[in-house]
Amino acid sequence: MVDEIEDPRRVDPPFVSDERTGLEAWLEWHRITLLIKCEGLDGEQLRSRPIPTSLMSLHGLVRHMAEVERNWFRRVLVQEDLPTGIYWDDENPEGDFEIPEADTFEADLAVWQEQMEIARANAAGKDLDVTGIRRGKPCSLRWIYNHMIEEYARHNGHADLMRELIDGAVGD
């Protein structure tokens, strides 16, 4: 049996709410879950790739999710011109997962947190039906929220498995 993570920062989404409240609560729940999965590990553990066939590490997931937050809430929702990623470009498309030795988890955690704050600000006060543009087509804030929840849920599953392989810690 997997123990439930007990952490006051991770608040269960309400069982009954309006749509926006529910979407935002689930997104925040998943954001904090990824953070919790990374806590208590040193830099080497965070960089480790415990699944031999994958580039993924917990550090890399934080970098990746900074890119995802930036893409959906800046590039798509408010159509900000962002020609490359924070960590990747055309010459290094896996830059979020291929972490240079000089890059620290603390610095990349701050970038992720900054991108989440910008995402929250860009979505604040906007109707769920407001659209940005993705690949030339309208994309609603509602769709973005649902996609972000899916993206975090998938990667939190990866984080859960990696954390268990790194130090045996388990928790939903």
The answer as to whether 8 is a domain residue is: no
Residue 66 burial class via C-beta count within 10 angstroms: exposed 0-12, middle 13-18, buried 19 and up: buried
The answer as to whether 1 is a domain residue is: no
**pLDDT for 3 beyond 70:** no
Nearest by Cα to 132 from 113, 111, 152, 148: 148
Q: Using an 8 Å Cβ cutoff, are 50 and 165 in contact?
A: yes
Phi-psi region of 136 (alpha: psi -120 to 50; beta: other; left: phi over 0): left
The answer as to whether 113 is a domain residue is: yes
**pLDDT for 169 beyond 90:** no
The C-alpha atoms of residue 105 and residue 171 are separated, in whole angstroms, by 22
Angle between helices 105-123 and 141-167 (to 10 degrees): 160
**Count of domains for the chain:** 1
Q: Which domain holds residue 39?
A: 19-167
The answer as to whether 11 is a domain residue is: no
Q: Using an 8 Å Cβ cutoff, are 133 and 12 in contact?
A: no
pLDDT for the residue 149 = 98
pLDDT for the residue 170 = 81
The C-alpha atoms of residue 10 and residue 90 are separated, in whole angstroms, by 36
The answer as to whether 4 is a domain residue is: no
Task: Look at 75 and 6; give whichever has higher pLDDT.
Answer: 75
pLDDT for the residue 134 = 96
For 25-80, the pLDDT digits (tens) are: 999 999 999 999 999 999 999 999 999 999 999 999 999 999 999 999 999 999 99
The answer as to whether 14 is a domain residue is: no
The answer as to whether 40 is a domain residue is: yes
Across 134-161, average pLDDT: 97
Q: What 3-state DSSP class applies to 134? A: strand
What is the CATH number for 144?
Answer: 1.20.120.450
Confidence band for 126, pLDDT divided at 50, 70 and 90? very high
pLDDT for the residue 2 = 61
The answer as to whether 39 is a domain residue is: yes
